[in-house]
Chains A and B, each alone.
Chain A
Amino acid sequence: MNRFLWPLIAFALLMVVMVVGLNNADRKGIIRSPLIGQPAPVFDAPDLLDPSARVTSAQLLGGWHLVNVWGTWCVECRAEHATLLAISREGKMPVIGLDWKDSDEDAKVWLQQLGNPYQHVGADRDGRIAIDWGVYGAPESFLVDPSGTVRQKRTGAMSEELWSRCFLPYLSEPQPKIPADCT
């Protein structure tokens, strides 16, 4: 055999490995939150709008909740705000806000001006709660089921399309088939 063919053969084998790798790539690109399937992290935060009340993880029990981490300093949060208002109006579940590393005054002005989609907003002033939730950039949204277990997570702005494709299926079936690109 022509020994000058060997490089081509080696290259062909390499390509096989690459094709297999590429087939599996979509499973690796997704950062699955280690929280999914785990109980929601415990927290106890002052209520942003009611100085006498607290917002706690105990309130997540007994019904579906969407926990949304946001801040007035976050541009993407402004972009997703309309979607959150729509989700709140839709009434399938309450939205609980976690106002992350923010000034209370800015946050109140923001909710007055843009509307308030949240049932309660906890003020996570020093960001300790967000650390427990593994947040690495706002906005992030977590779907929590009636037993208090985190079922789904979105890093980045929520959209109506994502909401209906990646989150709502959980309400109707126990183990829904979720498209691979839901993150």
Chain B
Amino acid sequence: MWIELGHFALVLALFVAAGQAFFGLVGAAKQRLDWLPLVRASVLVQTLLTLFAGATLINAFVRNDFSVGYVADHSNSMLPMFYRVAALWGAHEGSLLLWITILALWTVAVRARMHRLPPLFAARVLGVLGLISVGFLLFTLTTSNPFLRLLPPAVDGADLNPLLQDFALAVHPPILYTGYVGFSVTFAFACAALLEGRRDHVWARWMRPWTVMSWAFLSCGIALGSWWAYYELGWGGYWFWDPVENASFMPWLTGTALIHSLAVTDKRGLFKSWTLLLAIGAFSLSLIGTFLVRSGVLVSVHSFAADPARGIFILAFLVVLIGGALALYAWRAPLLQSEAGFALLSRESFLLFNNILLVVATLVVLGGTLAPLIAETLRLGTLSVGPPYFGPAFMVPMLPALVLLGVGFHASWKRGGLQVTSRMLGVVAGVAVLLSVAILLAGYGSRKPLAYVGSALALWIIGSSLIQPIQSLRRGLRMPASVVGMTVAHIGVGLFVLGATLVESASIERDVAMKTGVSVELGGYTYRYTGGEAIEGPNYDGFRAHVTVSRGTRTVAVLAPEKRRYWVTNSVMTEAGIGAAWNRDLFVALGEDVGDGAWSLRLQYRPLIRFIWLGALIMALGGIITLRDERYRRGAQA
């Protein structure tokens, strides 16, 4: 019965969201301040209804109610409790419900802080968010309903995909979606500004904290997803340029550009129309990503159940929402002329370059992702685009961006000129180059030119971003939170680049067949296979091998890679054995039983791989720190 109530609550939520959109948008157009309480009330009611609907579905999972089709398809009575809850977003229907719930929570957060906004502007923001809710609720209820009963009920469930039975995977969708969906708030602010026909740029300050918050969540979500792929997919890669990954990466790149252009708009009133376009773009790319992943248009290893009916719905929704927003933009953006100018070597110029390069990077990813579709449209046959394109093409805009980043920090606003001497920058650059050569030659013996370029750039960024904090500390000055956050975020960029460079250029891997007692040398480490045993888990059985890794006479890691067979789906999964340290991972994946007591094993040595995820988390942390800045803590008034 609960599931019917949940279903009903979601239907009600659709009507309430429609009310929210109507009272917000029409009310603002008619200048009806007295409708504002209706908008506020519908936001609250819609959120409560959505949360209730989600709770009934979780309840069905927890209680193993296999009369609910979605539960029967994606859970099983043997599935541990934690994954039964996480199974909610383990597939298309439930993950849409998660999306809707997170959108509702963001909307409530906007509502809680709307007293800082002019009332009619807030009404428009909430109205646009209501419109997005209507779209997603309609989509869920008409094409992807998780509340349908299965008659007759299944005896037991078909089980959650074993790939998804993992901690990082269970927690990363909510974090990732919080980022994705957060851009809908940014989008709503941009639409509200355009709808009002504002000529000023106060909206930039209102928009900034929401954008940074969403971006930080998105960064963490992508990092977690990448970490999961690394240890769970079993072959030690951390990024595959898969359509689903690109779908999260494109909004991230655009969001990064947006954060920087918002800084210019907020501080100097420039780039107003460009910033609004990026705000629309970041959310549009989130939606387009959703379309690509869930319509069956692109084939992906992450594939969601593909259904053309769903594709048609999302496509129509895209046309209405994004097409509408872009038409609004074409109509209203001409109002937003900026008079102020800026010098060539000013902060504005550097941020302009940053934006151009990040947008080019987004287009590189978008182009590669869509290339198979475009080839199909032009009847050029099937085309598959992978890392050989993405890797080099992505570096073309990113390398200059990283070089400029180190200088851009120190450029002054408006009139231009550097706040530090060029000698100082020269010293930092020189130290970065020498240090990277020393590290690579002494530690890794790498000869690849890109390794030197990458690590020198990474050290250049870290060094350059530390100049200002060190000077401030020396003079006993207090740095505003925005500067601290910016510094931290850019150090994160440097750490990420360093990690990615070394993993790409100095990793070592080898596939070997090993019997008990056999040792293999790899990258200065000795891997010794000491035997294995059969294992049994709550819903799987399998084999676990024991590999002792030593360096000289010292044992540095005892690894236990596993091969599991999940009973219900009868699928085989590998669990890699990973010996992690701050400066390297030792990675062992179990292959096949090659007979005669021997197993094939994949041994890998990956230097500094932790820096990749650490760098992303530090970027996100930097973003969060900037939110502490006083500017956002004061109430804004139009």
Residues on A lying within 8 angstroms of B by beta carbon are 2, 4-5, 7-8, 11-12, 14-22, 24-26, 28-29, 71, 73-76, 78-79, 100-101, 136-138
> Are B315 and A19 in contact, with the CB atoms below 8 A?
yes
> Are B315 and A4 in contact, with the CB atoms below 8 A?
no
> Are B567 and A17 in contact, with the CB atoms below 8 A?
no
Per-residue CB contact flags for chain B residues 270-285 toward chain A (1 = under 8 Å, else 0) read: 0001000100110010
Residues on B lying within 8 angstroms of A by beta carbon are 154-158, 273, 277, 280-281, 284, 288, 291, 295-299, 306-308, 311-312, 315, 318-319, 322-323, 326-327, 329-330, 333-334, 370, 373-374, 376-377, 567-571
Determine the chain A residues whose CB is within 8 A of the CB of B571 once the complex forms: 136-137
* Given contacts A8-B329, A15-B319, A25 and B308 within 8 Å (CB-CB): yes
> Are A18 and B373 in contact, with the CB atoms below 8 A?
yes
- The smallest beta-carbon distance between B278 and chain A, in angstroms, is 10
Determine the chain B residues whose CB is within 8 A of the CB of A74 once the complex forms: 570
With beta carbons under 8 angstroms apart, the residue of A14, A21, A138 that contacts B376 is A21
Determine the chain A residues whose CB is within 8 A of the CB of B155 once the complex forms: 75, 78
- In the complex, 29 of the A-B residue pairs with CB atoms within 8 angstroms, ordered by the A residue number, are A2-B330, A2-B334, A4-B330, A4-B333, A5-B330, A7-B281, A7-B329, A7-B330, A14-B288, A14-B370, A15-B315, A15-B318, A15-B323, A18-B297, A19-B315, A20-B376, A20-B377, A21-B376, A21-B377, A22-B295, A22-B297, A22-B312, A25-B295, A25-B308, A25-B311, A26-B296, A75-B155, A75-B157, A78-B155
> Are B154 and A75 in contact, with the CB atoms below 8 A?
yes
* Given contacts A2-B334, A137-B569, A137-B570, A16 and B326 within 8 Å (CB-CB): no
Determine chain A's interface SS by DSSP, over half rule: helix
* Given contacts A28-B296, A138-B570, A75 and B329 within 8 Å (CB-CB): no
> Are A8 and B306 in contact, with the CB atoms below 8 A?
no
**6 residue pairs, one from A and one from B, having the closest CB atoms:** A21-B297, A25-B296, A8-B326, A29-B306, A4-B333, A21-B373
With beta carbons under 8 angstroms apart, the residue of B156, B297, B322, B567 that contacts A11 is B322
Specify the chain A residue showing the minimal Cβ separation from B288: A14
Determine chain B's interface SS by DSSP, over half rule: helix
With beta carbons under 8 angstroms apart, the residue of B156, B280, B284, B370 that contacts A17 is B370
In the bound assembly, the distance between CA atoms of A14 and B569 in angstroms comes to 38
In the bound assembly, the distance between CA atoms of A9 and B268 in angstroms comes to 30
With beta carbons under 8 angstroms apart, the residue of B277, B281, B311 that contacts A22 is B311
Determine the chain A residues whose CB is within 8 A of the CB of B281 once the complex forms: 7
Determine the chain A residues whose CB is within 8 A of the CB of B308 once the complex forms: 22, 25-26, 29
In the bound assembly, the distance between CA atoms of A128 and B141 in angstroms comes to 43
> Are A17 and B377 in contact, with the CB atoms below 8 A?
yes
Determine the chain A residues whose CB is within 8 A of the CB of B333 once the complex forms: 4
Determine the chain B residues whose CB is within 8 A of the CB of A71 once the complex forms: 570
In the bound assembly, the distance between CA atoms of A71 and B377 in angstroms comes to 44
In the bound assembly, the distance between CA atoms of A75 and B570 in angstroms comes to 11
Determine the chain A residues whose CB is within 8 A of the CB of B273 once the complex forms: 4
Specify the chain A residue showing the minimal Cβ separation from B284: A11
Q: What 14 new A-B contacts, CB under 8 Å, besides A17-B373, A22-B297, A25-B306?
A: A2-B330, A4-B273, A4-B329, A11-B284, A14-B370, A18-B373, A20-B377, A21-B373, A21-B376, A29-B307, A73-B567, A75-B155, A79-B154, A101-B570
> Are B377 and A16 in contact, with the CB atoms below 8 A?
yes
* Given contacts A8-B329, A11-B326, A75 and B297 within 8 Å (CB-CB): no
In the bound assembly, the distance between CA atoms of A96 and B294 in angstroms comes to 37
- The smallest beta-carbon distance between A84 and chain B, in angstroms, is 17
Determine the chain B residues whose CB is within 8 A of the CB of A22 once the complex forms: 295, 297, 308, 311-312, 315
